Chains A and B, each alone.
Chain A
Amino acid sequence: MPTVAIVDDHLLLAETLRTALESSGVRAWIVPPASLDDLAEQLGAAPVDLVLLDLDLGAYSSNSTPMIGSLASLGIRVLVVTGSLDRLLIASALEQGAIGVQPKAAGFVELVRNTRAALTATGPLHPEQRAQLLGELHRARATRERELSPFLALTAREAQTLRALTAGHAVTEIAAQWVVSEATVRSHVRGILAKLGVSSQLAAVAAAANSGWLSEAN
């Protein structure tokens, strides 16, 4: 009898799914949400054929994709069940080794049917669809790298200056804070403007915020 582990912080969904699966001859086991390390350990120790994994585990983790890799390396098949429609998030789950993705938006009946399908060797996801999703992910990554590349050219001091500017400090304040001359800070600013290809400090700050460099660096 195949065994399915349900990892979801929505107890009603988990419970109804378990009952529906059990009535169709599949052993189902609800794993209460916990930290990702605990979950991986728990699932790795149990004789599980398939894990239905919610990508958002509420208070524990808002993104459980990192766990998919460790489960996949143990030979456990992971079907991602998610309420998110973010294609890049779904694609990165596939890249981590998930065999497929089942959107919660598709409804309960579909969820039960696809869980059963995921227990068979072929899995629920069409290879073409999978390739398309992964292609999207790679394209998005390439775009992102292209957007970030001018920021990688910044020296450490220039990056610090840009961060200070985004925090709303003027050049004179930065110079006073670092105990350097204003001319030094201005030369950093010139370097930033040249490397980012913008003509004002404001444009540089907007570029830093828009490219996501700020959140990436912090």
Chain B
Amino acid sequence: MGGLTAWCVLIAAYPAHSITGHEQLPNLARTLSSGLFLVAGVLYLARGRLTDELRTAQFATALLVFGATVPAVAAIGPLLHEPHDMAQTAASTRALFLIPVFMLLLRATSAACHHSSVALSARRFTLEAATASGLGLAVALAARRLGGDGEGRALGVLIAIGTACWWLLVAQRTSRGTRGTTGRPAHLATGFILLATAELVRAWSIAGASPAIGVAAGFQLAAAMLIAYAAARSLWRAHRADASQSAELARAVVHLRGHLEELEAAQRERLHDARSAVVGVLGASELLSREGSAIAPDRLRGLMAAELSRLQAMLDAHSSEPISAFDLAPILAPVIVVRQLQGCDVDSDVADVRVVGRPGATATVLDNLLTNALVHAPGARIWIRTERLGTTVRVVVEDDGPGILPDEQGRVLRRGVRGSSATAPGDGLGLYTSVMAMQAQGGSLELDDRPTGGTRVTFALPEALPVAPHALAS
């Protein structure tokens, strides 16, 4: 606004000094503003490239055409034997200014008709540009037909069309602004108002007031400055947003990659486990078919059952296993037997109870707990017992190892956390996955100290209701 005021003062002061300056100053303003429109166009083009928005690129194109029209008209004028002064340019040449204005108007209406989230296709982009150019040229031809006596009337019509277009653009801008669908500043709307005013002032200049030519050029320059400023600001904002988006994307890339690596490692481990189980079972069947094998059949059968249930647990994801009533003892027995065979000191007293849950997942939880005890409390004695508490059955697993510090007990149940004093290898997932597996089947898992030293893990499942006698009868 300051620039505009300074310009008005300059115009008011100038004619008093020199008549040539009076003509040159508006021309200078026009050259400057066309340069600024070109700059704004380039900036918006850059923004369009940064954000991949074709709509912004379209806006940029219109600004570039607008900026290029002043030199284009200056170049065409002499060819058409017109005086080299913008103020006296023929109506037909002036009509070229309407091409970018029509482009802006078409863009605004098509954006309003189609929801703004609908991306503009490259085909539509060309179509709208061609339509605007066609309309502009048609107006130019019409103005040329009118030429001669009708020149003044043609100019009047052109100015009326131009003013109407700018005001329509202003209306569209402000309505978008109030709807809050776009964060664009009001600078553009103000710029359009200034351009509309410039058109009106130009009409006044045609009526004969010569200082008005300079004032119109001043308004145009102010509008160009505002629009260039809006362009720079919008490019800067898009750049900032792009940087933070890049950071977000970087985080996602690294996270995804880590996740994939984890999945791959888990997959490798599963394959390895599955192959070992298969070869073991093949070996066992080979031994069973031999006469007088050195291994006790009972032992072999126990090992096979344990290995096969491990394989089954691996194949059935915990979540897909149906929840059902099952006898606890026969499900836990293979897990316990295999540890005893491995030479662990496991003392087991599992009551004959029926519970509701996932048998495979429950066996895996006990296996995880025993592995934990084996790794973190090597050589410790382990006791497994069951107790009834109301309608739940609790399986208590205790060891006389070094135990877990009280303030760490809550922590080790979380994903990927291991005790600070843990020296043995482990990924810190065993307890966490066990808690998850128990909760997913309507149970729970808790960790505390064994009163006489060591760790105590308790997991609970609801007891299965006994089948009523009359249900059996019917």
A interface residues with partner B (beta carbon < 8 Å): 8, 10-13, 15-17, 19-20, 22-23, 32, 34-35, 54, 56, 58-62, 82-84, 86, 104-105, 107-109, 111, 165-173, 200-202, 205-206, 208-210, 214-215
Contacts A12-B284, A13-B279, A108-B279 given; indicate if A201 touches B250 (C-beta within 8 A): yes
Interface status of B463 (Cβ within 8 A of chain A)? no
Within 8 A of A (CB), among B281-320: 281-284, 286-287, 290, 293-295, 299-300, 303-304, 306-307
Task: Compute how far the CA of A171 lies from the CA of B244 in the bound complex, rounded to whole angstroms.
Answer: 9
- Tell which of A58, A104, A170 touches B247, judged by Cβ atoms closer than 8 Å: A170
Please report the C-alpha to C-alpha distance between residue A200 and residue B343 in the assembled complex, in whole angstroms.
58
- Greatest chain B CB density within 10 A among A12, A17, A32, A108 is at A12
| B-side interface residues, number (CB < 8 Å) | 55
User: A16 touches which one: B243, B284, B430 (CB < 8 A)?
Assistant: B284
Inter-subunit contact A56/B272 (CB<8 Å): yes
What are 18 A-B contacts with C-beta separation under 8 Å? A10-B280, A11-B303, A11-B306, A11-B338, A15-B303, A16-B287, A20-B286, A54-B276, A58-B371, A59-B425, A60-B424, A104-B272, A166-B251, A170-B246, A201-B247, A202-B253, A209-B253, A215-B261
* With known contacts A16-B280, A20-B286, A214–B254 Cβ distance under 8 A: yes
Instruction: Provide the residues of chain B in CB contact with A209, threshold 8 Å.
Output: 253-254, 257
Rounded to whole angstroms, the CA-CA distance of A154 and B342 in the bound complex is: 50
- The reply on B408 being an interface residue by CB < 8 A is no
A123 to B430, CA, bound (A): 39
B130 contacts partner chain A, Cβ-Cβ < 8 Å: no
A165 to B338, CA, bound (A): 48
Q: Which of A34, A58, A83 has the most CB atoms of chain B within a 10 A radius of its CB?
A: A83
Take A168-B248, A202-B249 as given contacts and tell me if A15 and B276 are in contact as well, using a CB distance cutoff of 8 Å.
Answer: no
On whether the beta carbons of A83 and B294 are closer than 8 Å, the reply is no
B376, chain A: closest CB distance, angstroms: 10
Q: Which of B256-292 contact A (CB under 8 A)?
A: 257, 261, 265, 268-269, 271-284, 286-287, 290
- Of A19, A104, A166, which one neighbours B275 at CB under 8 angstroms? A104
Chain B residues closer than 8 Å to A208, beta-carbon distance: 254
A58 to B368 alpha-carbon distance, docked (Å)? 11
- By a CB distance below 8 angstroms, the chain A residues around B150 are none
Return A101 CB to nearest CB of chain B, in Å. Answer: 14
Instruction: Tell me the bound Cα distance from A210 to B257 in angstroms.
Output: 8
In the A-B complex, the 10 residue pairs with the smallest Cβ-Cβ separation, listed nearest first, are A168-B251, A16-B283, A83-B275, A13-B280, A12-B280, A83-B272, A205-B250, A10-B276, A108-B283, A12-B307
CB distance from A67 to the nearest CB of B (A): 13
A106 vs chain B, min Cβ distance (A)? 9
User: Which residue in chain A gives the minimum CB-CB distance to B248?
Assistant: A168
Complex: A64 Cα to B419 Cα, angstroms: 23
B268–A165 CB distance below 8 A: no
Q: Does the CB pair A11–B341 fall under 8 Å?
A: yes
